[in-house]
């Protein structure tokens, strides 16, 4: 892993907050492409959501989540071909970068085709849903603030609106 | 760009802070691979550093930088073949994901080979430097807290230490 090993004395930084942990964490998480999808060494594969909401075929990996160091979390989600994320909204925003595959994303009143490295900004309060194409997975990074509200699912009234708009009704999975 | 356009009424969210801007920003920044490197539509190509430090052949693009929404910034850096970033340290941490190319990174007292999608964590107070291989660029995402300290460059005493350690002296560009 290391190509060179040498010892440069690290002098303690007098300005560092007491107890700053810097020593006991791996510097490198090596990427691995597997038949089951993208993986990173020593990073746990997690359930997409602990509670039951309507989604299909998603994995989640918390790539960086140390709120004491950066008050934001960088997660990787991978949706299997034909799968989708929950249709939801919340006050916090998402900053997304597509990493692999193909799919579409609904944001507010529009649907966008997405491809690797495209950036998607999901504003506060907008309904949104990601869908992978039927013949490809959709993998993406999603950056959120550590301090954020819980997602809201559509109520009966919202569902009635969705059902009344053909383009929306055809896209949304509930 | 949009494959479907329809109008779903967005009811104002009574819990949203007054003046929350959600309407006037593009949802999608399309990725483009160009002969000059990775680019995103409507995202400005920036100088690597405003002040003069020792680096070579780097561009910077601020992919997401809205501290009022997420108190962290996601930047993309691209180092040309043979180029390098500043040798520096600071109290804030970096969470890095390699996006393209090949290179090496010095973190503290070790050098790591890196390849696409590898994750690199740069702890508080550790000297670090990225170098692209001579035959490939090195492009990477770098996540930082919005509230962060300025980088520190090596002083004369640090440079004397670097010069006294053959492995370090051979790697570091000052």
pLDDT number for residue A24: 73
Catalytic (active site) residue A153: no
Give the separation between CA B8 and CA A163, rounded to whole angstroms. 11
C-alpha closest to that of A64 among B76, B72, B149: B72
pLDDT above 90 for B169: yes
Mean pLDDT of A139-166: 94
Task: List pLDDT tens digits, range B84-108.
Answer: 999 999 999 999 999 999 999 999 9
The torsion angles phi and psi of A142, rounded to 5 degrees, stand at: -135, 115
pLDDT at position A15, please?
A: 52
Global pTM?
0.87
pLDDT for A23 beyond 60: no
Q: How many residues does chain B have?
A: 174
Model pLDDT, residue A50: 53
pLDDT at B51: 53
Q: Which of A28, A39, A163 to mutate to test the interface with B (most CBs of B within 10 A)?
A: A28
Residue B8's pLDDT band, with cuts at 50, 70 and 90, is low
Residue A1 has pLDDT above 70, yes or no: no
Identify all chain B residues contacting A78, using CB atoms and an 8 Å cutoff.
Answer: none
Q: Would you call B22 and A125 a contact, using CB atoms and an 8 Å cutoff?
A: yes
B15-70 pLDDT, tens digit per residue, is 544 444 445 789 999 999 999 999 999 999 987 765 556 778 899 999 999 999 99
Long-range contacts of B44-47 (CB under 8 A, 24+ apart): none
Which residue does chain B place closest to A43, by CA atoms?
B119
- Quick check: B29 and A121 CB within 8 A? yes
Q: What is the pLDDT of residue B50?
A: 53
Q: Are B106 and B127 in contact (CB under 8 A)?
A: yes
Tell me the per-residue pLDDT of A35-67, one tens digit each, with 9 for 90 and over. 999 999 999 998 776 555 677 789 999 999 999
Element (H, E) at A66: none
The CA distance from A40 to A63, in Å, is 8
What ipTM was estimated for this complex?
Answer: 0.87
Q: Strand, helix or coil at B164?
A: helix
- Does an H or E element contain B166, and which? helix B166-171
Give the C-alpha separation, B64 to A142, whole Å. Answer: 11
DSSP B56: E
Residue-wise pLDDT tens digits, B124-162: 999 999 999 999 999 999 999 999 999 999 999 999 999
Q: What is the pLDDT of residue B17?
A: 45
pLDDT for A164: 93
């Amino acid at each position: 892993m290391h190509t060179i090993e040498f010892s440069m004395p690290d002098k303690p930084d007098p300005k560092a907050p007491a107890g700053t942990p810097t020593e006991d964490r791996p510097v490198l998480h090596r990427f691995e492409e597997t038949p089951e999808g993208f993986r990173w060494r020593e990073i746990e594969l997690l359930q997409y959501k602990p509670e039951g909401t309507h989604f299909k075929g998603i994995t989640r990996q918390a790539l960086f989540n140390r709120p004491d160091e950066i008050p934001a979390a960088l997660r990787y989600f991978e949706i299997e071909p034909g799968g989708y994320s929950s249709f939801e909204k919340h006050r916090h925003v998402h900053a997304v970068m597509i990493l692999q595959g193909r799919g579409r994303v609904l944001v507010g009143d529009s649907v966008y085709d997405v491809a690797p490295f495209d950036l998607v900004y999901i504003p506060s309060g907008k309904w949104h849903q990601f869908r992978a194409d039927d013949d490809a997975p959709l993998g993406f990074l999603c950056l959120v603030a550590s301090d954020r509200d819980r997602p809201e699912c559509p109520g009966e009234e919202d569902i009635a609106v969705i059902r009344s708009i053909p383009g929306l009704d055809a896209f949304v999975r509930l």
